Amino acid sequence: MADEIIDESDEVQATDIVFDCPYCGKSLCIDYHGAGLNIECSDCGEEVVVPIPTGMELDDFDNSPEDQEIRIINLRNSLAQSEARVQSLRVQVETLTARCAALDEANETVSENATEIRERIAIIQRAQADIYRAVDGVSELIGVADGESAAAN
């Protein structure tokens, strides 16, 4: 069968396509009829496109009706997987967009709270300054009063 990956125990033929899985690096080998097909890596299970040998086109291969049917089935499977992946990515984008909006809202709330806290700190600092001035005034009055009472004695 054209999409059958040749096991390591099988011999590699001169017409076989030997290539590495782009995901895990495993060396894969497949009959030349598999060029352009999507296959599953025997190691990592990822879907891999069998490369077309340099200088060749798909039309250069013997295209029996069986080979064409396999290609069509593989293309349909690949399309279905791609559509499912697109849908999954859309859901992820929607989720991330909602999270981003929530984070923007939370950031705005934090910013407003920080502004309010700064304003309250400024009020407290002014009140402290007023208290220090009042204490200094009272201290002066007490000092003057002590001085007057000492002078009177």
On average, the pLDDT of the chain sits at: 84
pTM of the model: 0.44
Whether the pLDDT of residue 5 is over 60: the answer is no
* DSSP for residue 51: P
Give the distance, in angstroms, between the CA of residue 113 and the centroid of all CA atoms in the same chain: 30
Please check the confidence at residue 78 and state whether its pLDDT lies above 80: yes
**Collapsing DSSP states into helix, strand and coil, what is residue 88?**
helix
The answer to whether 77 and 69 have CB atoms below 8 angstroms apart is no
Question: Is the confidence at residue 2, as pLDDT, over 60?
Answer: no
Question: What does the alpha-carbon distance between residue 143 and residue 145 come to, in Å, rounded to a whole number?
Answer: 5
* More confidently predicted of 60 and 55: 55
Residue at 89: amino acid letter: L
Tell me which residue has tokens 């407290």: 124
Is residue 7's pLDDT more than 60?
Answer: no
Rounded average pLDDT over 101-113 = 97
Question: What's the whole-number mean pLDDT along residues 65-78?
Answer: 81
C-alpha 122/C-alpha 8 separation (Å) is 77
Which of 53, 46, 8, 1 has the alpha carbon at shortest distance from 27?
8
- Asked if 74 contacts 38 with a C-beta cutoff of 8 angstroms, the reply is yes
Percent of the chain with pLDDT strictly greater than 70 = 82
